[in-house]
Amino acid sequence: MVDVGIFHQIISNLAEGNGWIATITGVENFWSDHFSPSLALLVPFFKLTGNSPLVLAVVHAGLVFGGVGAWVFLGERLPNLSPDRRARIAAAALIFGIVMDSLWANLRWGFHESAIAFCAQSWAWAFIFLRWRGGRGIALACLLLAVSAGSKEILLLDGAVAFFILAYNEFKSAAKPTAVLSATLALLCVTAFVAFTSHDSPEKKNYFIRYYGYLGSDSLSALAALFRHPLRVFEVVGGAELLRFVRDVLTPWLALPLLWLFGRRGDPRPRTRVHPAVWAFAILPSFMAMALSTVIWLRRPSHHYVLELWPLLAALTLFALARIRVHRAPELWAFSALLFLGQDPWRQLIEYARAVPGTAAIRTEMRGISREYSVVADEMTGPWLAARTKVSRWPDLKPFLPRCPDYRVLSPTSPSDELGPVSFKDICRDYVLSASSPDTVFSGGWRVYRHRPPPR
């Protein structure tokens, strides 16, 4: 149910005109938890499919490999190269994207809003570095970077830095309209970040305190602490962990983006007036948010946070490959991705396909519970019960207060109602319950309890 169920509930309720409902997260309105207006762009897919529980998986794959398509687009148009060299770099980008372990791990994890940013940024950097179709291409890139910035609050800072650099680049190129547009969007990103981080969540879900509390209670105090006590990060996070994180970030790209820091000037290079290494500052906020966090899994390539780094690193890598004189460099880079492939996505697809017939019945039965009813359900129900206004993970009953949920849906291994929390007994004590046996047993031993209102 996390994360796929959360996003399915949000977007399906948007499609139904119910607003940003996110009871699975423990808040009534998702905007009190995260800044993700770009999720609204997925509403048409939900409307077209009738809020199908499968739609997010398909959209997720489309966004990820749509971003890879931008890498191929960039490779095919690298400036000052022969057609053969371009074709080989584009083919290497395609192969690399198809076998990249991090992308497959993220697909297996499930949809997250970072996938929107990944696709949008991949195309934005391609348009900016190629200066594709001049000012119109830059304007389109601004739109895509705005979509990325609207995916998550930390991406507002990434977007602000990118827009400031782009504004300077456009000013140097004497392109005043796009310079003004970029500068305006940069200020809007900063304003939105300050406004969003200034409000308190009604549930006091302070992610900053949870992740960076050792530095301070907010962004400003954390920055001040970094300047005063920089070694504090090594004490809390650990030097070995930070080195591992840097290694994980650079390894898929064979550290080729560093060529722009230490390599000589020359062609081919992005068609920008700003040095390519300067663009790396556009992912610095996300990089620092991952590096400074006390939560280890935020730094792992299998987690969705890295999707915020890959688009720019991919674009810089393609230009770096074009400058290397080794004839087979593109092929060696693509082959390296196979060496780091820590899972077998093709075998996983076969296993999932074989499991479909065995789970088809339970999925159909779950969808038979009308969306009008409130449900508290086991974590493993995923998105199949999420398209409703009131749904939560068992045993969290806060979203239903002061009522009792209409249904409980428990897996064969979930604790029985006798072992449930005291709050469940308090809230539902006046309801007609099936105390020891479920009303219905779904396929695979899943238990369904119907909570009927007390008789009048």
Sign of CA dihedral 234, 239, 241, 242: positive
For residue 420, how many C-alpha atoms fall within 13 Å in the half-sphere facing its CB?
23
Closest CA to 46 of 14, 23, 1: 14
What is the helix (H) or strand (E) element at residue 108, kind and residue range? Answer: helix 101-109
Give the DSSP letter string of 157-194.
HHHHHHHHHHHHHHHHTT-HHHHHHHHHHHHHHHHHHH
Mean predicted lDDT score pLDDT of the chain: 88
Q: What integer pLDDT is reported at residue 314 of this predicted model?
A: 97
Mean pLDDT within 40-62:
95
Say if residue 51's pLDDT is above 60. yes
Does residue 449 register a pLDDT over 60? yes
Residue 189 has pLDDT above 60, yes or no: yes
pLDDT tens track for 63-87: 999 999 999 999 999 998 999 999 9
CA dihedral 350, 353, 358, 364 (to 10 degrees): 160
pLDDT band, residue 425 (cuts 50/70/90): low
Q: Evaluate if residue 12 carries a pLDDT over 80.
A: yes
Higher model confidence: residue 394 or residue 421? 394
Concatenated DSSP letters of 110-144: ---THHHHHHHHHHHHHHHHHTTTHHHHHHHHHHH
Tell me how far apart the alpha carbons of residues 239 and 341 are, in angstroms, rounded to a whole number.
26
Whole-number pLDDT of residue 416: 61
The single-letter code of the amino acid at 349 is L
The domain limits of the chain are 113-325, 347-450
Residues 256-281 pLDDT 10s: 988 877 665 666 778 888 988 899 99
Considering only CA atoms, give the Rg of the chain: 24
Q: Report residue 375's pLDDT band, with 50, 70 and 90 as the boundaries.
A: very high
Residues 223-267 pLDDT 10s? 899 999 989 999 999 999 999 999 999 999 999 988 877 665 666
The pairing of beta strand 447-450 with beta strand 407-410:
antiparallel
323-374 per-position pLDDT tens digit: 888 888 999 999 988 888 877 888 888 888 888 887 888 888 898 899 999 9
Give kind and range of the element (H or E) at residue 393. Answer: strand 391-393
CA dihedral 132, 138, 140, 141 (to 10 degrees): 100
**pLDDT at residue 70 in the model:** 98
